Amino acid sequence: MSKRYDLLIFDWDGTLADSVGRIVEAMNQAAERAGEASCSEEAIKGIIGLALDEAISVLYPHLAVAQVQAFRQHYAEIYMALDQQPSPLFEGVVESLEAFRAEGYRLAVATGKARRGLDRVLEVHGWERYFDITRGADEARGKPHPLMLEQILAHCQVEPGRALMVGDSVFDLQMASNAGMHSVAVGYGAMSLQALAEFGPQVCIDHFSQLREWLAAPVQFNSQGR
């Protein structure tokens, strides 16, 4: 059976990497350092996927631009300290990425992380070898603007209808829709499958390995990824 897609594009935090907990902790430590009230875990999970400046502004809309920049610096310093050993990839990710490469898929990353942070985590474990191209929010426009995906599609010379975006936030799914692409929602990251299902993913999964199963035999899956 021929593949339905040629290019698979992944979000990073909460989709490939088990880093949501560190993001929540770093955001609240940064708030304390900046003299701001901490936010709930649910609120912080709700901004994961956005570019950092925008995420801070959503959580703390009263902050002026200079205060957002100071908060951003606090967060960066704290996250780096917490992430001395980069967050691990979720169970099944390494095996699946290797299988996707062997099966002829092109692979990419579109993340709200900045290039510097993304390069650091890729290089530490040699994960950059999995991907044809990666894009961070500081190289394009933040999600859900489709520019990151458009850049990836242009680099890989793949039409939107032959590409698939995989992510754990509504911003990932909205970005895919804005780019004219299909999407897959993962329910083990920042947001629930119930929230993500409203944005029209092709399938919802609760374990990364289910993506490979769905791509191989999509007619055997229902909307809950089982």
SS3 125: helix
| Residue-wise DSSP of 129-181 | GG-SEEEEGGGS--TTSTHHHHHHHHHHT--GGGEEEEESSHHHHHHHHHTT-
Q: What angle do CA 29, 62, 175 make, to 5 degrees?
A: 80
11 is a catalytic site residue: yes
Active-site position among 6, 13, 18, 168:
13
83 is a catalytic site residue: no
Q: Dihedrals φ, ψ of 50, to 5°?
A: -75, 155
Identify whether the C-beta of residue 225 lies closer than 8 Å to the C-beta of residue 205.
Answer: yes
d(CA 142, CA 51): 5
Active-site position among 11, 83, 168, 172:
11
Q: Which residues are catalytic?
A: 11, 13
